[in-house]
Chains A and B, each alone.
Chain A
Amino acid sequence: MIKKAEEIFFRILMIISTVAIAAALLLIIFSILYNGLPALSWEMISQIPKGGFYFGKEGGILNAIIGSLYLSVCSTLIALLIGLPVAMYMNVFMIKHRNTLNSVRFILDILWGIPSIVYGAFGFVIMIYFGLKTSLLAGIITVSLFIIPIMVRSMDEVLKTVPSGLLESSLSLGSTKTEISFKIFLRQCIPGIVTAVLLSFGRAIGDAASVLFTTGYTDSIPESLSDPAATLPLAIFFQLSSPVEEVRQRAFASAAVLTFVILLISIAARILSARYNRNKIKF
């Protein structure tokens, strides 16, 4: 009898939690769309701000859309180029050095936990040291630093699930560890690696604090790496703090655009990874 009551209690608890999470997501999307849709227009996403944009006059947020895409795509690529080899090295080459491996994981976890504003401040110090101005380049470097630990640890968690038997079998075929990394482990873990990249991309495009000092903000579209650039999170921030009702509405529209970009990239990546998923071995 008590067993049964316990069963029912936890079942209800789980249902409530699941519904709460789903409701929170729907509520966020609803409130963004409810407040933002009236302001969302073609003009909004196809033009850069004109004079008086922040007082409710004409213009759009194309500068922030382009700036955000430049910034997040470039920094995700850099993080991938550094992060994937690191994660592979940890799981194929370093596998016998358990203690070292655990320390590396611990350090990466600490780096993951550092707030992005600290990375922003760090990036700012580096910029001053090298005499860089607020620019796309400084932002890309800072955001890369900030998402590399996220990317490495997420990939690492996926690569860790590859059974040691597959590594042993592959070694027995006479493969080198590099071949194992990029011909076998990569194939086996493609869906998880795509998820890791997406997670990092989401953090890169959605972060405001790390780009505040480093990328700056501007009303024009950056033409080179040394130009400052606008980003969507900061566009939302500046518009939301405006006293003008119309401008605040545009902040929600910008949030909708940001969410939509992330959604679009997620779906594209899922479709891509599903194509490679069919060969995955379930152990």
Chain B
Amino acid sequence: MTTIITPKIKISELNLSIDKQEILKNINVEIPENKITVLLGPSGCGKTTLLKTLNRLTDLYDNVKISGSVILDNEDILHTKSDITKIRQKMGLLSQRPYPLPMSIYGNISYGLKIKGVKKKKILDERVEHYLKEVNLWEEVRERLHHPASALSIGQQQRLCLARGLAVGPEIILADEPTSALDPLSSQAIEEMFLILKKNYTLVLVTHILRQAKRIADYVVFMYLGEVVEQGPAEEFFSSPKMERTKAYLKGAFN
């Protein structure tokens, strides 16, 4: 392969411990731009923590110690003095289950625009429609934009949360097992959306579902007990894994 992949995020020598318990050990990962990078591994291997380090949600943890660096756009996120809210706006987060804001459907999408300073109703209306269309939710909700978001089904809520994240204008989408609470059809809808979104966004997806990783991954990072065991382009990773532990995992020896 001759294509040079430009890394969007460069994680180097990242160590993280909470209450002196090591969660992440010496992580070195480069996340390629406009690709779907899948963080794969059994539960409790630290993949969610790694994801949360990327937008510094780890700030919410008590007694946490982090060393190393996470470079995004020539800036070390972990040690930057610039406004963390601005950095977070570069990264949308989709969590395990949808957490819509306690507002209307319209309010959920316009929230992100409003805190970025968009005030004109015409622009807001236009943008809300645009992002709802982008996640294929527009037709389902156009008649009830001002109904509470809680009235939507879980699958619709998750798409709403995706649209809400996109409305802030991120470059990266972080997804933490985004389909684990959803039915198969809604999961499929989310996966299909990711494949479209990667044209314009860099996606980082945490999953423990091997088949999902095979379906959509471009680049795979396999983690086990807080360490990166193996990483590489998806094809290579699934067809010819190098490490014994990866082979065992792919065969389904442990989950």
Contacts and interface: CB of A to CB of B under 8 A. Distances in A.
Given A169-B95, A172-B55, A281-B150, A187 B103 contact: yes
Q: For the side of the interface on A, what is the size category?
A: 20 to 34
Contacts, number: 89
Nearest to B107: A279
Interface in B74-91: 85-86, 88-89, 91
Interface stretch (A18-26, A176-184, A202-210): A176-184
Interface of B is mostly: mixed
A233 B104 CA distance: 44
Interface in A256-283: 278-283
A3 interface: no
A215 interface: no
Contact of A176 (B57, B85, B93, B104): B85
Contact of B88 (A95, A167, A171, A279): A171
B115 A174 contact: yes
Nearest to A174: B89
Contacts of A278: 148
B183 interface: no
A188 B62 contact: no
Q: Which of B60, B88, B97, B101 has the most CB of A within 10 A?
A: B101
B59 interface: yes
B168 interface: yes
Contact of A164 (B60, B164, B168): B60
Given A173-B88, A279-B148, A279-B150, A166 B115 contact: no
What are the 3 closest A-B residue pairs judged by CB atoms, nearest first?
A: A174-B89, A172-B93, A188-B102
27 contacts: A98-B62, A168-B52, A168-B60, A170-B101, A171-B57, A171-B85, A172-B91, A172-B92, A173-B89, A173-B111, A173-B164, A173-B165, A173-B168, A174-B89, A174-B112, A174-B115, A175-B85, A183-B111, A184-B101, A279-B102, A279-B103, A279-B104, A279-B149, A280-B150, A281-B102, A281-B149, A281-B150
